[in-house]
A and B are shown apart, each in its own frame.
Chain A
């Protein structure tokens, strides 16, 4: 079974860093993305990922380093500004929020592209390729941080910190998040302030997206936000199960992605997303709740509707 051991033999410890990095990118994305799906805001993930580009370029010009924490914080604020910008357009005019989102993110993305061309040309790491596809495997070229005797690539440390921050925040505000997503009216009557929840979520989303930006690019990050949640949504009727399944999907995508990367020597971010998409197709065919197989079996009267399953 040479093909199964290939990545680990060919890449050695680097294979571990790459899988861990892909997982640390996909994990926070999967959790935030699950809530985006439930709030019917998947497009906003798209918007944020594109519109933080000018912020990234500007911060990059100052720091010259894509994994600088300042860049992440700055872009978090940029993401908030975009959200406010969108709100201003659709509250202040008769333009509806979907159109306002379309306006805000394309305009800012265009600004980012121009800034990048004008000023970023001399810098090696920030070019249109990186923005589009991401460069997950480039983490190995970074200086390493020594942790417990291991030389850990620095972007992995940053990304792990972001993942930890995201999961902790979501855990602490879990109930507020769930209630304001399910029933904003009741949440408001408890004094939870759905607007604050919205902006808080956009802030966290911006941080996650920007941290993931370098690894997977502005477009593939959307896949990491939406695929795990959509996969999990098809498999369960219970939110905690959904979030766990989404995390599992993130891990599986990372591992399978590494294999595709090693087998075909292709773009790692693309491989991870492709693996995630393949898993989604499996859920669509065989998932316990929405799976086509069960629907077909049910129509034949062979199985009961899975009302009271653990799922």
Chain B
């Protein structure tokens, strides 16, 4: 397997993000091989969501670069899918389940073309896969948390991307939906998709993901789960948080 034929699904080099002059992420170096399920874990405020948002270009980064399948992100936008946090949208918005699933096809439609029969078929199939097709005409506010998350996943499936970023898909969902998401992730891996999942539950992280990124403003460790999921590294990620924060505070104080 040469690197030219199979470039890494995602390559992040020296990525830094600052917010109001405070560093949120710095010097993130990550290389994710194709076809892996990757968990991004770390304490609250570690910059997990910020990492995927800045990789997607949703929020600006202050340094570093990102390559997707060996190309800059803007040349590979159509190969990347994004599932934002469920709470980030207004679920009272007057759209139906079908409308949301159709949004997954917008990326390939460009700015002006309207979704037609082909797009409706893609959206229907995606909804079928997550068991939400019978809800297609419901307003999204009438769904449970788990059902809302399934609709978001259906939308991601309709995007038909090769690399996915999912922001906390397991938050606030019922056990049945959690199991359904896991099945879906494994199914995606079998089709050689690469999925990066921001995750907060350490216990399940070990079972769900092939690789882990331990993040606390910088990458503490990154690699196959058995190698990375060790007490020392986890302690360094979670327990060592205070010392890391004070280090940064020192450094910024010196810089200014």
Q: Which residues of A contact B (CB under 8 A)?
A: 38, 40, 172-173, 175-176, 178-179, 181-183, 185-186, 188-192, 233, 236-239, 241-242, 305, 307-308
Contacts and interface: CB of A to CB of B under 8 A. Distances in A.
B72 to A, nearest CB: 12
Contacts of B106: 175, 179, 190
Nearest to A194: B58
A308 B138 contact: yes
B139 to A, nearest CB: 4
B57 A236 contact: no
Given A179-B106, A186-B103, A238 B82 contact: no
Contacts of B88: 183, 185
B43 interface: no
Nearest to B138: A307
Interface residues of B, number: 31
Given A176-B111, A179-B106, A189 B58 contact: yes
A186 B94 contact: no
Nearest to B95: A239
Given A185-B82, A189-B77, A237 B96 contact: yes
Contacts of A179: 103, 106
A189 B80 contact: yes
A183 B84 contact: yes
Given A189-B58, A189-B82, A308-B137, A182 B77 contact: no
Contacts of B56: 185, 188-189
A86 to B, nearest CB: 18
B74 interface: yes
B114 interface: yes
Contacts of A186: 82, 84, 103, 155
A237 B53 contact: no
A183 B103 contact: yes
Interface of B is mostly: mixed
Interface in B27-54: 53
A64 to B, nearest CB: 40
Contacts of A308: 137-138
Interface string B57-81: 1100000000000000010010010
A190 B58 contact: no
A305 B155 CA distance: 26
Given A176-B111, A189-B77, A189-B82, A183 B94 contact: no
A33 to B, nearest CB: 14
Nearest to A190: B107
A307 B100 CA distance: 17
Contacts of A38: 90, 93-94
B96 A188 contact: no
B84 A307 contact: no
* From A179, A181, A185, residue with most partner B Cβ within 10 Å: A185
A238 B58 contact: no
Contact of B84 (A185, A237, A241): A185
6 tightest A-B CB contacts, nearest first: A237-B139, A185-B84, A189-B82, A188-B58, A190-B107, A239-B94
Interface string B90-102: 1001111001100
A237 B140 CA distance: 9
Nearest to A189: B82
Interface string B197-235: 000000000000000000000000000000000000000
A173 B110 CA distance: 11
Interface in B104-137: 106-107, 109, 111-112, 114, 137
B27 to A, nearest CB: 24
B134 to A, nearest CB: 10
A179 B106 CA distance: 9
Contacts of B139: 237-238, 307
B141 interface: yes
9 contacts: A175-B111, A176-B111, A183-B89, A185-B88, A186-B155, A189-B57, A238-B95, A238-B96, A308-B137
Contacts of A185: 53, 56, 58, 82, 84, 88
B84 A182 contact: no
A239 B139 CA distance: 10
Given A175-B114, A189-B77, A307 B95 contact: no
Contacts of A307: 138-139, 142
Nearest to A188: B58
Given A175-B109, A182-B93, A183-B103, 13 more contacts: A175-B106, A178-B95, A182-B89, A185-B58, A188-B57, A189-B58, A189-B77, A191-B74, A191-B77, A238-B96, A239-B95, A307-B138, A308-B138
Contacts of A189: 56-58, 77, 80, 82, 107
Q: Which of A173, A236, A307 has the most CB of B within 10 A?
A: A307
Residue in B96, B100, B106, B138 whose Cβ sees the most chain A Cβ within 10 Å: B106
B106 to A, nearest CB: 6
Given A185-B53, A190-B106, A238-B96, A172 B82 contact: no
Contacts of B137: 308
A191 B109 CA distance: 12
